[in-house]
Structure 1
């Protein structure tokens, strides 16, 4: 081997200013290895000069006594005969080495023993110096600056360090290396005097909690561990050694746990009650296992929603991670830190800088440019390195070694240090709900889920049933003041129901109990029967029969009573049936009505109709005998005799058609001709074969249509049965659909699906959707709404109820598809609702999920005939969570969550059937925030728009003689 007097690397560029740093991992690895490998102390000491780079397009013709490194990406730019013309006795060429160990091996083969004699730890420090030198050069030159590095002093420090290393003087070598790093830091700070924060973000999964995690926790003192309550439990059960290490480093302050929720749930669509439960269970798990709590909220899966800032403030988190590490879209700004404002106008410090992948060499080749651009614009610059335990690029270890010497590329910091050191930095930012786009539907279809849509139906139904059980337990306690075994069982079953619903939505079949709905239904029936004996009953015998309804929901509802309970109601047309009389049932209350009430109500209804006729003449056109019509108190619904869908919904007493509905399959754009412009050509056609009135009762007249869906060639792709009805006790029409697909949709769920399609006549109407339990406007083509959509026009409002059907797509300005079946979906039965001029859409959606319970027929009258046990004085606020406060065997108070749903701030009065001794607003940890004003059985609180708060009420002790 010839004597080496200079070292050169050929780069595929004309200058460092135009050097392309965005490369694939293989090219990045080779370039970094080639550059940093030449900073080996033996090579520096032997050549007595720093390595230099040359253009691969114009390499030196006859370099004398040179060691030349040629990355593979540079070879294609070399002149065709340059390699062949090199004098073999003067030049040593190293090619195709792939990485740093490969480079060492190639040099060793060319010059055996050349690189020996220096400890690897010292060699790694020189590699770190070369890495920092490259990044500073790229940082300054690519961002419009000339290098300000004192090249002479830097070279002297590097060469003195190399000489000391070769002679075995490790401490002296490190002192000289420190001078070199200090010079690089001065050079960088001349142009970028701002501090950069480097944040390690270690991810966890069930498969990464073993030895790799233990090494990570023990070897690095600035670990930010992103985990969940479920993974902590898994660690405690399966990896106790890792848990012991985690507790140890937590006590020493070397690690910060991030998280907050129990599981990596699909929380971006979940309502406020579910989010409260998830945070509470997660924080309880942290306290139980680690005896601490995560100060910063974050999760790996997409879970961003404008509801989060208020809830995180409620649970007293110090900050949040405003990014996700899987699919989905969310707003990203040019600042690392922001003050994230939520829908309820609460805010929280957040990190909005999207992490880089610490396992990819490409991340580290362009690190200098990334840091430079960030320092140029950012007030609290941070770069986050996300990775699984011990699964990182070797260059991440090099960066850590650089940070030990100098903050030239930034200083590693914990997430809590970052928030506390930058507490006065961060612009207040509000992002519209439409800017957050969850990826759940595409993920479920790609993952071959058997219920990508219907799992949401099961989820909302089980949550509604669990809420009803909890309300029933509390009502029993409010009546008697005693917390008995049945009430306790109701609460325990409700808790199991919420956990079961979470298992459904996250598809954890191992923890899912398919028999819970049947057990819960039987328990509720038994509890309702026992409640009959607790309700007040008149001592007088009036000889009058009636009906008793119980409302276990947080919203008011309606019951009905027929004029003649024994009458045969199976007539050919609903028009011939005597209409039942309806009456209100308060939330968390009951109502009793006699049969005579129906007679009086019918008389009042006739007077009202007569008044309308006198005022307007003919109130509304009587439907022809060829029309299929049902009516409720606000509208007339006509079924299309050709399609079997809804031909129109007409407001009463007069008005034009407002809405039409059909079933259809979106066939996919691949089925369209290239010149087809009509979007309707992409859908199947709905053809009715039979339409008939169902043999029904006067309480719910219904029309059933059966038929098929056909494609453009007339081939049957599905059969359908659709039943539209007008329940007397619900202020909307109910639509029940059964689909039997013969052709399944394609793999793209947003382009090929079966849907319930709605079309309205007003192109200027605005569309709003549910975000949790709140209503917010939307302008997106594809969006998620778990409970309802509302179309607001100039004169009327149309409410489309879809509890459990969260995925919707706009087609043009006045058509909406509610997705029913996508690829993999096994469910066939669906239920929706359509209402006209419904003021509170959430109330209607909850009534569809949990209508009032008919306790008994032909019962004795009640005194009073209507009563509530817990109520609010405003309808835009609902009780989203209800929990008992039990001491001994007595109900001594309630803990409830209140959610404002319509965007109207104002005072709220909470009234109970018991006298209150104290009332407090509390945070998510149960600590008192402020006392509330009391007035006997009432407590008063001020709520902001879309805000969720928790309140604890305490009752006066019941005197027992």
Structure 2
């Protein structure tokens, strides 16, 4: 190539400090290509100097000397009038533009020139010069943007660059490589002058069913020159530094890999074992919502997905990760128990889950695990690479762990991504590439803690994705998942109760368990309805009204009773994990109440009715139904006077201002009717329609409001028919039940995975419900699986009932007032005690419990019973502190305890290991035990498994 006087780029800035941080993808691609293309070795050799730059808005007047001028698309609009025409008129000037580097190389005629030279250790080609130009740009921009003075010896750097270019053109590979090392080292010294620590670079390939064939093909071809050559020690000046990649394999992709050809799967395993590739995975698929599950079901789902991945790949993932969906902080203990070195909390599909810092400490229940929370860099585009160096430098400057997490699909990688990889194969100037396992094991260790909450980040966006993507029943499917999770746990609890009472493990269906439960507590089933046993397999005590033949015996657990023909309606208190029997005065053979008893009821009356004149009432609450709207116009409860609660249905279309009533829907009642008005129960039904701001009907409703005797809960069972079509973002276009409290200083706590967590989010995803805390009084929205709630203003909460694609019209909601244990109550609303007619029993045997935990903020979530090899009866009990405060906990059993010890890992212990743990009690945190109880301390939101051995 003929000699060139100068190679320059016209950039749209006044100084490098102003080099664009953000630009559209096309502009960024053109800008970075324009900068790096001038570093082609033939251009450098022809000009004998480092490429330079000028301001696009005020370039110099160029003479007739030979030169190359490259103009990115961002600079075109800033050029002076007639400047381009004057330059193009000069035959000695090459005016180069293009959308990318290849187009500019074509314009320069360099596309088909000599491509590479080979030395003993590595191959060197024009791409390595492009990478050097990119590194030079990033270091210079970083230095200026952080207000430092450049210490780069530009003359030395230029001499080495020109020497490398001359050697490349002459075909002297060894001299070229040596000079290139000196050039990269000069940039590294410049960076080290300010930051001695090296940034961390992580290259992560994402997989899907559609990209899996291309991924395996890339492994077969050995793509990426740096990976295919020798990776010697960092200290060797002639070495190629390691630039390992990583791949994310969650449970669904692991299944697809296991079904792939054996040679493909084995090649990947060999690369992982050899250290060329790292990996993370084992997470659940995106179709599984952790927020719809109990804590224990979430633990099981995470563990099963991880073990499934390990089995199908043949290796255990060293780092836990999901492609779709984040993993909340309260599951840190579960993830740590898998034996991983760290976890990635980012939801790659929905673009959420990242934080302000790249690497943080997650601490839950006394267990620490490091998490990668860096915002992903889209390695398929150029925009994120405009300011990679300054971004990493700013992180180091602020004391953070600088991490560039470059994420891409196979075959979708930008030129700048490849430039960064090539830079890292020469020098650590922009950082070092890590496998994910080594990043957590040997990389810089974090000291800042993860500030994120328990809710899985982006779950609200997942609803949007479902609805916009055409999924049906996004709301009701969550209801079904949540209720199934609770029902499954109640079934397991019932079996545990039988085992605890009988002293041997129990298995079987619900019907079998019911009969086995009666037998284990010494009750005999009966064909008569005179004595009714209520069995409560939930951790929450319940007050339930049932009908029995005859008149019940007055006992402590009988809250109240009233007559109804030949029957009595009895309100019974049933303890958690216990039973209560409503006994007939005349014994089990009684067929009904006597004529005299029925006459006395007529004379004396049946007590205060629960429904009268549009009002629902009992000893704890009064609910006034609005005959104009069909909603609730007033709720009265507790010591504070005045209205504390209201509720109505709303139709929302588009965003609304915080305190504006403009465009709000109106609820209109067509009919209000008292359905049930008895002492034990009151039901008022309202039917009507909703109108928009113009008066047009947009929906019809039917609501049954119910209050039962002695209960602090208002139950609503309703049906809503949408007339207008719902479309678009479900958080902005929906029908909902909107409740309001009196105090604007209300704080919100969501009930999630058996715990109560404070939240400031406007969009709340909590299947069990939300606590509205007004300090002196509390209102629980127990939503029984209706998971999506939206705060409106300061004191309104919408519970979404209908969104686009929802076909389920019926719903149930429960509002509790000043409940002593909100979490336990929210779990119990969808469950009723089991009923069984029994033979006559004595007063002493008419009530009992098998497990009792105190205080009432502690949830007994699971109980697994077993016999060890010596026939000793053991149980593993899971305790969850539902609130954030530390508490001293006592758990009592129906059997005496002979030993108790904490377990670090519930799922990985066999019977021999359990026996060993009992023998090593001194190595465990303190668990006191005596007679029928154990005592221990639980920190806020802690989940503890305790192994208990019972007396024979």
TM range (shorter): 0.7 to 0.9
Cα distance in 2 between the residues matched to 1:561 and 1:201: 60
1:200 shift after superposition: 1.5
Matched residue, 1:659: 645
Report matched runs for 1:259-658 at 5 Å: 259-264=281-286, 265-267=288-290, 270-303=293-326, 305-313=328-336, 315=338, 317-327=340-350, 332-333=355-356, 335-341=357-363, 347-422=368-443, 424-428=445-449, 430-431=451-452, 438=459, 439-483=461-505, 487=507, 490=508, 523-529=509-515, 531-537=517-523, 545-562=530-547, 565=550, 580-596=569-585, 627-651=613-637, 656-658=642-644
Q: Is the CA contact 1:330–1:437 (under 8 Å) kept in the aligned structure 2?
A: yes
Where structure 2 has 5 or more consecutive residues not aligned to the other structure, the ranges are: 228-242, 553-561, 588-592, 594-606, 910-916, 918-922
Shift of 1:82: 3.4
> Take 1:115 and 1:323, find their aligned partners in 2: how far apart are those partners?
43
- 1:155-234 correspondence to structure 2 within 5 Å: 155-213=158-216, 215=218, 220=227, 222-234=244-256
Q: Which residue of structure 2 lines up, in the alignment, with residue 690 of structure 1?
A: 671
Residue 12 of structure 2 contacts residue 56 of structure 2 at CA under 8 Å; is this kept in 1? yes
Contact 2:291 2:455 in 1 (8 A): no
Shift of 1:396: 1.4
- Whether the aligned pair in 2 keeps the contact of 1:276 and 1:311 (CA below 8 Å) is yes
8 Å Cα contact 2:475-2:787 kept in structure 1: yes
CA contact (8 A) 1:693 1:703 kept: yes
Q: Return the offset for 1:547.
A: 0.8
Show CA shifts across 1:775-828 (max 9, x none).
Answer: 233444332332132334465433221121122223333322211111221111
Matches within 5 A, 1:721-870: 721-728=702-709, 731-793=712-774, 795-856=776-837, 864-870=845-851
- Label 1:444 to 1:31 Cα distance change in 2 as closer, same or farther (>3 A): same
Q: Does 1:926 align with 2:908?
A: yes
CA distance in 2, matches of 1:268, 1:59: 62
TM-score (norm 2): 0.84
1:233 Cα deviation from its structure 2 partner: 2.2
Which residue of 1 is the match for residue 602 of structure 2?
A: none
The structural deviation recorded for 1:900 is 0.6
**Aligned partners of 2:88, 2:827: CA distance in 1, in Å?**
85
Structure with more of its chain in helix, by fraction: 1
Give the deviation of 1:423 after TM superposition: 5.5
**Residue in structure 1 matched with residue 948 of structure 2 by the alignment:** 953
Cα distance per residue 1:398-440 (max 9 Å; x no partner): 2111111110111112333333345654224544669956322
- Cα distance in 1 for residues equivalent to 2:939 and 2:69: 69
- 8 Å contact from structure 1 (residues 380, 422) kept in 2: no
Secondary structure class of the residue paired with 1:49: coil
Equivalent residue, structure 2, for 1:53: 53
Q: Deviations over 1:635-660 (max 9, x none)?
A: 23332222222233333799543222
Distance 1:589 1:677 in 2: 47
1:601-630 per-residue CA deviation (whole Å, 9 max, x = no partner) reads x9xxxxxxxxxxxxxxxxx999996x1233
Q: 1:183 to 1:696 in 2, by over 3 A?
A: same
Tell me which residue corresponds to 1:137.
140
Q: Quick one: structure 1 residues 327 and 33, their matched pair in 2 at CA, closer, same or farther if it must change by over 3 Å?
A: same
CA distance in 1, matches of 2:291, 2:796: 25
Structure 1 residues 337 and 63: alpha-carbon distance in aligned structure 2, compared to 1, 3 A threshold: farther
For the residue of structure 2 that corresponds to 1:747, the secondary structure is: coil
| Counterpart residue number, 1:152 | 155
Q: Offset at 1:181?
A: 0.8
**2:75 — aligned with what?**
74
**Structure 1 227/915 Cα, relative in aligned 2: closer, same or farther at 3 Å?**
farther
Q: Secondary structure at 1:776's aligned position in 2?
A: strand
Deviations 1:807-850 (A, max 9, x none): 22233333222111112211111111122221111122122122
Closer, same or farther: CA 303–728 of 1 in aligned 2, 3 Å: farther
For residues 774 and 537 of structure 1, do their structure 2 counterparts lie closer, same or farther at Cα, with a shift above 3 Å needed? closer
Deviations 1:466-496 (A, max 9, x none): 1122223333433444556xx1xx4xxxxxx
C-alpha contact (below 8 Å) 1:809/1:817 kept by paired residues: yes
Q: Decide whether aligned partners of structure 1 residues 548 and 328 sit closer, same or farther in structure 2, where only a CA change above 3 A counts.
A: farther
Residues 655-674 of structure 1 show CA distances to partners (whole Å, capped at 9, x for unaligned) of 5432222222124458xxxx
1:371 deviates by 2.5
Between 853-862 and 413-422, the greater mean CA deviation after superposition: 853-862
- Higher mean C-alpha displacement, 899-908 vs 9-18: 9-18
8 Å Cα contact 1:341/1:347 also seen in 2: yes
1:188 counterpart SS class: helix
Residues 533/790 of structure 1: CA separation in 2 closer, same or farther (3 Å cut): same
Partners of 1:565 and 1:795 lie apart in 2 by 43
2:875 partner SS: strand
Aligned-pair distance for 1:222? Answer: 2.5
| Counterpart check, 1:31 vs 2:31 | yes
* Match in the other structure for 2:271: 249
Query: C-alpha offsets along residues 118-159 of structure 1, whole Å, 9 cap, x if unaligned?
Result: 678422222222222222222223332343222222222222
Q: 1:586 and 1:621 mapped to 2: Cα distance?
A: 26
Q: Shift in Å at residue 232 of structure 1?
A: 1.3
Q: Deviations over 1:215-235 (max 9, x none)?
A: 369654533333322321232
Q: Which residue of 2 aligns with 1:610?
A: none
Distance 1:802 1:585 in 2: 23
Q: Report the Cα offset of residue 188 of structure 1.
A: 1.7
Structure 1 residue 860 displacement after superposition: 5.6
Structure 2 counterpart of 1:95: 96
Measured against aligned partners, the alpha-carbon deviations of 1:334-380 in whole angstroms (never above 9, x if no partner) come to: x43333455x6765333333121111112223222223322322342
**Aligned 8 A contact 2:385 2:416 in 1:** yes
Residue 315 of structure 1, CA deviation: 4.9
Give the C-alpha shift of residue 390 in structure 1: 3.4
The superposition leaves residues 47-95 of structure 1 with CA deviations (integer Å, 9 ceiling, x where unpaired) of 3223222333324422412233333333333333334434867524243
Deviation of 1:268 after TM superposition, in Å, equals 5.2
Distance 1:52 1:575, change over 3 A: farther
Aligned length: 885
**Which position in structure 2 is the counterpart of 1:943?**
938
Query: Which deviates the most, 150-159 or 317-326?
Result: 317-326
Rounded to whole Å, the distance in 2 between the matches of 1:764 and 1:147 is 54
Is the Cα–Cα contact under 8 Å of residues 649 and 659 in structure 1 kept in the other structure? yes
2:258 to 218, 231, 236: 236
Structure 2: how far apart are the matches of 1:78 and 1:181?
33
For the 8 Å contact 2:401–2:444, the answer to whether it is kept is no
Tell me, what secondary structure is at the counterpart of 2:717? Answer: strand
- SS of 2:646's equivalent in the other structure is strand
CA deviation profile, 1:444-463 (whole Å, cap 9, x unmatched): 22122211211121111111
Aligned counterpart, 1:504: none
Aligned to 1:502: none
SS of 2:65's equivalent?
Answer: coil
